[in-house]
Amino acid sequence: MRYQPSDIAGGPTIKSRVTTHGGRGMTLEQEINESNQYYLAHDIAVIHKKPTPIQIVKVDYPKRSAAVIREAYFRQASTTDYNGIYRGRYIDFDAKETKETTRFPLDNFHQHQVDHMRQCLKQGGICFGLIKFVSLDQLYLLKASDLISYWDQQNTANGRKSIPMSVFQQRAISVKYQLNPLIAYLDAVDQLI
């Protein structure tokens, strides 16, 4: 808790406090990056965000120390956001946020990402999506096999274009926020291993 300026000596005798919520306002990506730094610093796992491959076309050099990229293109479609190693196992996952409260729209993922997860699963990797329902302040680890199942069904006659919240509540693993690491998603991964 943080004290208000009125808590300083000479202020009113009634103490008012502001509750701070660590991580609020951060994007899911920032929260995961901070958690990954904790895991790395404590020799728990080596997991990094993959850089997006770009082709730089035009650069201006107003000063040698201040190059400015003026034009660039994506070299190829990226796969998932994160990969690394944990307990001798390859981990590969993507992080997504939605403001929806009753469902997760499948169009947050792309075909090449789902195909990549499918390939990683075939090789024995641990793959999943970390899905944050921003409005509900809820985070879930959804196994790639469950995501792929819904992905494959979406274009069938009775297929859905989203995954209902009830599926997350029943089949996904809830991931809680805490102090260190901020997102303890590897605790949820332990349930998959």
Give the total residue count for the chain.
Answer: 193
Q: Look-up: residue for tokens 């190059």?
A: 67
Q: Record the tokens describing residue 110, joined without a space.
A: 């792309």
| Other CB atoms within 10 Å distance of the CB of residue 105 | 13
Q: Are 7 and 48 in contact (CB under 8 A)?
A: no
Using alpha carbons, select from 134, 163, 158, 132 the residue that is nearest to residue 147.
163
CB 130 within 8 A of CB 141: yes
The reply, when asked if residue 94 is annotated as ligand binding, is yes
Closest CA to 108 of 93, 122, 123, 96: 96
Does residue 81 have a known ligand-binding role? yes
Give binding residues for Mg(2+) as ranges: 79, 81, 94, 113
Binding residues: 79, 81, 94, 113
